[in-house]
């Protein structure tokens, strides 16, 4: 399988972002007690807060008067007051009060961004607000399903989001990066192969079985059982950087691509994992995630153990990827060389690039 | 009142400084015991020291030989010796000794800067030395008047000096930034207004009364009296960044713009505040200040309490202004929007810009 | 003696490096126990390790696949495995395994660099490998001579390597920088002068006597004798930045340029010092050194005391030179002014510039 080199070029710090799509801006619990969250998204400083009405508000975190940070200000009802000279803005960003001045210019204000809250996630639309349609938000039903239990997580990466997407596009890295945490053994890279790499219009789907394997450490820690397992991962990655994964462990010998997947009664233990990558800037990323399980739902220590196993594993990725980011920044001319396992990665980068190009062409046509 | 937007554009990091004027370089107590002070002023590294004769010397902090720092050297009489290869420079910057070399090129040396010491302040002239006339130094007589007592202060800002000047041009910020320190209440921004904004050739003068107000915390702490007061602030700001303020508290009902200001016998307590902003670079500032009082002169704790109240208040400004600097650097195209209260700020920026333009035009005409 | 100013211009951050020559990459003890050393040399990230066969390997520290650091990987035999996706490279840099992929493109790999180990030093060749001839490595026989004992040292400088070379080109700095450590007195700069500055094709040689002097602190500490001495330094500096020095102390009155140097029996105590400067980048340097003595060879405290005296002295240089680097970066237009003592420095900079120019002309002629 030949892979054109230009299709796997490194993420450029100057590559534009896809604008007209929903990004995860935060978890709902971040906005409790009137807390204001200052978070830069796609390079734009944004302030997030929950107004008195319960509405999640997202505004430019920069007062239109002298540029003070609204996140240093105070929530009043659904409004925010800048605590430099006291200008007050409503939930749309319109200026509604200037202390000591009776007339307010009707168009004075800051930019507001559409938000949607769903299943504990706060989504934001950074592009053309006229195109913001909540129907375009990808559904991950396990976050609201009482048959699944998890623990919401957040990590910050000093790296371009696509380097993290790349990481998830080839599970061979489980064998080497996560041998003692999420992987289990190096044989995963040698013996197991994707049974299918499906190219989707907006991403890819990969299925991979690892048969007759020792249970990986994160799983063994909670099931306390060393018996050999068959492990199936089904991973989906969607534009611009949304990752859903289904993981199933069944007793060794009962799994495999050629068999009907065994059900719970047959001893299956399953996980559902969602990961959302939101660019902070071209060289840093917000990473929101949850790793849910479908058994022992009344034991809070299972969620907690899985949460900490994931943090441990993600930090293994983070060390490699942040070093990779520095290496690429030091020499932007470095030509990466594709291997066969990069097929999903290459398709994803192409798909995203086409979407961004299309968006920019449309903008030019209008202008 | 219409304010042209272009007149309130943000401070550019590339904006030139006014050169032919006096800047405060330090307090006299900084040079005791032969201490050498390395301080960058208008982007130029300068070494300051007091020679044996008592003279305050200011030289380029860079040996003309290999660029070693003279501030790492040693004061000898009124001279300084570079402690790399031993070159010695007199108080004008002329090289007067090279160890192991008999002939010294007559024009070898470093640049020296005119200095003037007055009322505990050391002033420096960074522009054309032929134009350095001590008569141009603004007088603040309270620093030498035994009827006033204070405590000299210094703070460093990671922000352009004009953002700090802006801050002082609108006292509405007292209400929001300094509610619990220097301000006293948010009503200050809503109920009190400047009674006069006087445009001066080299700055502005603003007078503002706040009638029948609770005494602000910094004042209440030292007078230990909760009785309501009338408060008058008269603030003057001069090019390039010198701020003088007279503050008076009188018993509520005895003040106001329409009344003759009551004298000390009538219960007035007064303050005199000087603030000097000297650019370190386009994005950082040296801030020298003193806040003097005219009562309880034999109680050192009054000065000390006021000093600490000011530090507390200035740090409130500093947090906002340094964030503002970062916000402006992140997006230099940000168009600020003026409000009515910006009249003094706008006049000051215009005045300074005209002075800088005139200075540069004169330089070009010569060249 | 006239020195053209352009010949002593400051080290530019954009000045190219001499490529076709040997640089010291490390001490042999750095690679014990399979340790991988990540070290940037001439701006290139390099990984160093000792393979199972004992061979010192130097490869680009960047996997050719996705840019992960090989120094985060694992040594296997003489090979290294990238611990991101498991690619394995042999000691020449050739890729010899891709987990999950049977065919390996024959030219896939990373760049390998020639190395030579000699007398505990690991040398690396960053230029055209076809020109790498071990015969070009400068010999410093004292490192293998049982008649001399030392202790290998390493320091990192945040400064261009040529500023450190400059430092060693004029020993007057001993008087001012190292008065209380390596120098002994300021009179060294005034009374002693080089008796000869010899311009070599690839550097310079300077001889300097200081007669009837108090022993400098580093020497007095180990000999515990305050008797006056005659001190001779013979220093050689070679392109690109290799410094060898012979130091001899004899009883006062028995030395001097006009006398045959006294031998050991006559009370001479001698030192041999090698210093190797390898650019990490245009603004930082790896500094390897050893300071050996020819007496009291069975007392390990002599080596140790000398080692610590040198570290103390080098840190005095480092403080000055790193400040100098910052000063030069802040104003690249600063014109340095030469003094007579800069003769050796000027010759060295010219010699190196000619070598670099010649190398670049040859490259252009080929292209």
Convert the pLDDT of each residue in A278-307 to its tens digit.
Answer: 999 999 999 999 999 999 999 999 999 999
Q: Is B87 on the interface with A (CB under 8 A)?
A: no
The predicted-structure confidence for C304-338, as pLDDT tens digits, reads as follows: 999 999 999 999 999 999 999 999 999 999 999 99
| Paired residues of B246 in beta bridges | B234, B272
pLDDT in tens, C56-79: 999 999 999 999 999 999 999 999
> pLDDT per position in chain B (367 positions), as tens?
343 344 344 444 457 999 999 999 999 999 988 899 999 999 999 999 999 999 999 999 999 999 999 999 999 999 999 999 999 999 999 999 999 899 999 999 999 999 999 999 999 999 999 999 999 999 999 999 999 999 999 999 999 999 999 999 988 888 899 988 888 788 878 877 777 789 999 999 999 888 999 999 999 999 999 999 999 999 999 999 999 999 999 999 888 777 666 666 678 999 999 999 999 999 999 999 999 999 999 999 999 999 999 999 999 999 999 999 999 999 999 999 999 999 999 999 999 999 999 999 998 887 7
For residue A258, the model assigns a pLDDT of: 72
A341/C101 touch (CB, cutoff 8 Å), yes or no: yes
| CB neighbours of residue B161 within 10 Å | 25
Among chain B residues, CA nearest to A105:
B339
- Interchain CB distance below 8 Å, A72 and B319: yes
| Alpha-carbon gap, residue C301 to C296, rounded angstroms | 9
Q: Does B94 touch chain C (CB under 8 A)?
A: no
Write down the pLDDT at residue A264: 63
One-character DSSP codes across B116-144: EEETTEEEEE-S-GGG--GGGSPP-GGGT
User: Chain A neighbours among B 6-25 (CB < 8 Å)?
Assistant: 10
Nearest Cα residue in chain B from A83: B176
pLDDT of amino acid A4:
38
Note whether B101 contacts C319, CB cutoff 8 Å: no
Among C45, C84, C99, select the one facing A190 at the smallest CB separation: C99
Do residues A181 and A312 lie in contact, with contact meaning Cβ atoms separated by under 8 Å? yes
Question: How far is Cα A293 from Cα A295, in angstroms, rounded to an integer?
Answer: 6
Residue C166's pLDDT is 95
Cα(first)–Cα(last) distance of chain C, in Å?
Answer: 42
- Name C88's bridge partners: C81, C97
Residue A273 pLDDT > 50:
yes
Of the pLDDT bands very low, low, confident and very high (cuts 50, 70, 90), residue C10 is very low
Taking CB atoms and an 8 Å limit, are A337 and C108 in contact across chains? yes
CA distance B17 to B239: 11
User: CB neighbours (10 Å) of residue A194?
Assistant: 20
Side-chain half-sphere exposure of A6, counting CA atoms within 13 A: 1
pLDDT of residue C4: 38
Q: Please report the pLDDT score of residue A308 as a whole number.
A: 96
Q: Say what the pLDDT of residue A267 is.
A: 84
Contacts of A109 in chain B (CB under 8 A): none
SS (H, E, C) C325-357: HHHHHHCCCCCCCCCHHHHHHHHHHHHHHHHHH
Which residue do the tokens 């620093």 mark? Answer: B143
Mean pLDDT in chain C?
Answer: 92
Between A265 and B274, name the one with better pLDDT.
B274
pLDDT 10s digits, A137-192: 999 999 999 999 999 999 999 999 999 999 999 888 888 999 888 888 888 788 87
- Which burial class, exposed, middle or buried, applies to C265 when counting CB atoms under 10 A from its CB (0-12, 13-18, 19+)? exposed
Neighbours of chain B (3+ CB pairs under 8 A): A, C
Closest chain C residue by Cα to residue B101: C340
Which position has the token pair 């290139």? C44
Contacts of A59 in chain B (CB under 8 A): none
Work out the pLDDT band at C187, boundaries 50, 70, 90.
confident
Q: Is the CB of A336 less than 8 angstroms away from the CB of C87?
A: no
Q: Which residue of B has its CA nearest to A68?
A: B324
Mean pLDDT of the residues in chain A: 92
Is pLDDT of C12 > 50?
no
- Between chain B and chain C, the number of residue pairs with CB atoms below 8 A apart is 72
Within 8 A by CB and 6+ apart from B205, the residues are: B196, B197, B198, B234, B235, B236
- Neighbouring-strand partners of residue C252: none
B336/A62 touch (CB, cutoff 8 Å), yes or no: no
Output the CA torsion B273→B237→A70→A51 (10° steps).
Answer: 70
Selecting from A166, A327, A341 the residue whose C-beta is nearest the C-beta of C62 gives A327
- Structural domains present in chain B: 22-136 (2.102.10.10), 141-356 (3.90.380.10)
Confidence band for C297, pLDDT divided at 50, 70 and 90: very high
User: What pLDDT is stored for residue A183 in this prediction?
Assistant: 85
Residue A192 and residue A208: Cα distance in Å, rounded?
A: 7
Residues contacting residue B11 through CB under 8 Å, at least 6 positions apart: B160, B162, B163, B282, B328
- Summarised one tens digit per residue, pLDDT across range C204-247 is 999 988 899 999 999 999 999 999 999 999 999 999 999 999 99
CB contact under 8 A, B65 and C328: no
User: Pick the residue with more confidence: A41 or B186?
Assistant: A41
pLDDT in tens, A306-344: 999 999 999 999 999 999 999 999 999 999 999 999 999
Chain C partners (3+ C-beta pairs within 8 A): A, B
Q: What pLDDT, on the 0 to 100 scale, is given for residue A365? A: 86
Closest to B24 (Cα-Cα) out of B70, B72, B56: B56
Instruction: Please identify among residues 196-255 of chain B the ones whose CB lies closer than 8 Å to any CB of chain C.
Output: none
Residues within 8 A of B (CB atoms), C 275-334 only:
319-320, 323-324, 327-328, 330-331, 334
Nearest to B65 among C186, C193, C339 (CB): C339
Say whether C323 and B62 touch across the interface (CB within 8 A): no
Report in angstroms the alpha-carbon separations of A124 from A241, A291, A298: 14, 22, 33
Residue B11 pLDDT: 44
With H, G, I as helix, E, B as strand and everything else as coil, classify residue C300: helix
Nearest C-alpha in B relative to C345: B66
Share of chain A above pLDDT 70, in %: 94
Interface check for B100 against chain C (CB to CB < 8 A): the answer is yes
Residue numbers in C near B82 (CB within 8 A): 176
| Chain A residues with beta carbon closer than 8 angstroms to that of C85 | 170, 172-173, 176, 189, 339, 341
Nearest residue in C to A327, CA atom? C67
Name residues whose C-beta falls within 8 Å of residue B30's C-beta, 6 or more positions apart in sequence: B37, B48, B122
């Amino acid at each position: 399988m030949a892979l054109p080199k230009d299709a796997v070029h490194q993420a450029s710090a100057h590559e534009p972002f896809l604008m007209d799509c929903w990004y995860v801006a935060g978890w709902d619990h971040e906005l409790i007690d009137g807390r204001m969250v200052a978070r830069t998204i796609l390079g734009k400083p944004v302030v997030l807060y929950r107004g008195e009405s319960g509405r999640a508000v997202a505004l430019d975190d920069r007062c239109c008067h002298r540029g003070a940070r609204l996140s240093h200000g105070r929530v009043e009802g659904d409004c925010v007051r800048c605590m430099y000279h006291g200008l007050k803005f409503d939930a749309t960003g319109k200026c509604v009060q200037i202390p000591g001045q009776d007339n307010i210019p009707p168009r004075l204000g800051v930019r507001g961004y559409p938000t949607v809250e769903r299943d504990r996630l706060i989504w934001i639309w950074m592009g053309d607000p006229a195109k913001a349609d909540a129907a375009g938000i990808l559904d991950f039903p396990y976050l609201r399903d009482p048959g699944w239990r998890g623990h919401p997580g957040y990590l910050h990466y000093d790296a371009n989001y696509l380097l993290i997407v790349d990481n998830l596009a080839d599970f061979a890295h489980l064998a080497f990066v996560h041998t003692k945490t999420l992987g289990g053994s190096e044989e995963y890279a040698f013996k197991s192969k994707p049974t299918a790499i499906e190219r989707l219009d907006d991403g890819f789907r990969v299925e991979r079985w690892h048969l007759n394997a020792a249970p990986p450490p994160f799983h063994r820690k909670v099931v306390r059982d060393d018996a050999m397992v068959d492990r199936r991962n089904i991973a989906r990655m969607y534009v611009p950087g949304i990752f859903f994964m289904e993981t199933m462990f069944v007793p060794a010998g009962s799994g495999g691509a050629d068999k009907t997947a065994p059900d719970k009664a047959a001893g299956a233990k399953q996980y559902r994992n969602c990961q959302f990558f939101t660019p902070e800037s071209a060289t840093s990323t917000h990473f929101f995630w949850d790793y849910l399980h479908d058994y022992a739902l009344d034991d809070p220590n299972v969620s907690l153990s899985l949460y900490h196993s994931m943090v441990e594993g993600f930090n293994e990725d983070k060390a490699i990827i942040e070093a990779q980011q520095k290496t690429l920044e030091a020499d932007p001319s470095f030509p990466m060389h594709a291997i066969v396992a990069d097929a999903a990665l290459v398709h994803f980068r192409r798909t995203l690039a086409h979407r961004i190009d299309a968006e920019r062409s449309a903008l030019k046509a209008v202008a």
